[in-house]
Amino acid sequence: MVDFINEVEDELRKDQYNVLLRKWGPLIALIAVGIVAAAGFYEYTKKAGDRAARNASIEYVAASELLAEGKTDEALSRFEAIAQKAGPGYGGLSLSRAAQIELDRGNSERAVALFDSAAGVYTKPLHKELAQYKAALILSDLGRHDEVLQRVNPLIETGKPYADLARELRGFTHLALGDNAAARRDFLFLSSSLSAGENIITRAKQMLALTPSLAAKADDAPVSAPVPVTDAADTADDNPQKDAE
């Protein structure tokens, strides 16, 4: 009797399983196929990204060798071509190298445009803002001080990787524009900064000590620097090795 009951229960379970399988089987199969397809697509794109990064690395080295051999025009063309198909790392770095080539050749306007393009390609703030800072430096050399101020002000926000370098450039820009009070504020800030590098602090102190227009006034209020959030001013090297970011 017990065996009979067990057999009946087994049959009932089988019937219930078959009903559920007919009802939900297609959906479960579809989900399983979707999971397998998604996993396959992930592996494919990962391998494709790795291949693209390796190819970009090879082409970048080849362009650098052309530049070292004095084949400037060919190197410039190769760097610009790499930027068209590489990821953010090598793409931005190639544009930055092209910008430096143009700058060395005296094509400052073109160099600014290329650094701007590099900043648009990079995804990491450390790299993006370095390109923006370099473009602002070139504009400073060109005497376009109003443009410099527009570009450096966003870089000076607390926690920005090149805030101290940008503030220093802003101080020199204020000085060039004749705004001595604003220049003095920037150099005072840097002279007592806890985040600025030693070279920046030294230059700020020298500017305050040796520039008559920045001489201390009796009613000067002390300028205090905030506790540093980050100090990336001395780590300006781009790292393209993670090009598939």
Structural contact between residues 244 and 86, judged by C-beta atoms closer than 8 angstroms: no
Start-end of H helices in the chain? 2-68, 72-85, 88-104, 108-121, 125-141, 145-152, 163-177, 180-191, 198-210
Domain residue limits at 80: 23-123
One domain, residues 116 and 164? no
Q: Is residue 242 part of a domain?
A: no
Q: Is residue 228 over pLDDT 60?
A: no
Q: Is residue 69 part of a domain?
A: yes
pLDDT at residue number 23: 64
Eight-class DSSP state of 226: P
**How does DSSP assign 99-138, residue by residue?**
HHHHHHTT-HHHHHHHHHHHHHH--SHHHHHHHHHHHHHH
One domain, residues 28 and 114? yes
Distances (CA, A) of 170 to 31, 164, 225: 58, 10, 16
One domain, residues 32 and 86? yes
Q: Is residue 81 part of a domain?
A: yes
Domain boundary among 57, 90, 123: 123
pLDDT digits (tens, 9 = 90+) for 12-55: 565 666 665 566 666 666 666 666 655 554 454 545 456 666 78
Q: What percent of the chain has pLDDT over 70?
A: 66
Count of domains forming the chain: 2
pLDDT at residue number 57: 81
pLDDT digits (tens, 9 = 90+) for 62-121: 999 999 999 999 999 999 999 888 888 999 999 999 999 999 999 999 999 999 999 999
Closest C-alpha to 131, from 75, 76, 88, 174 = 88
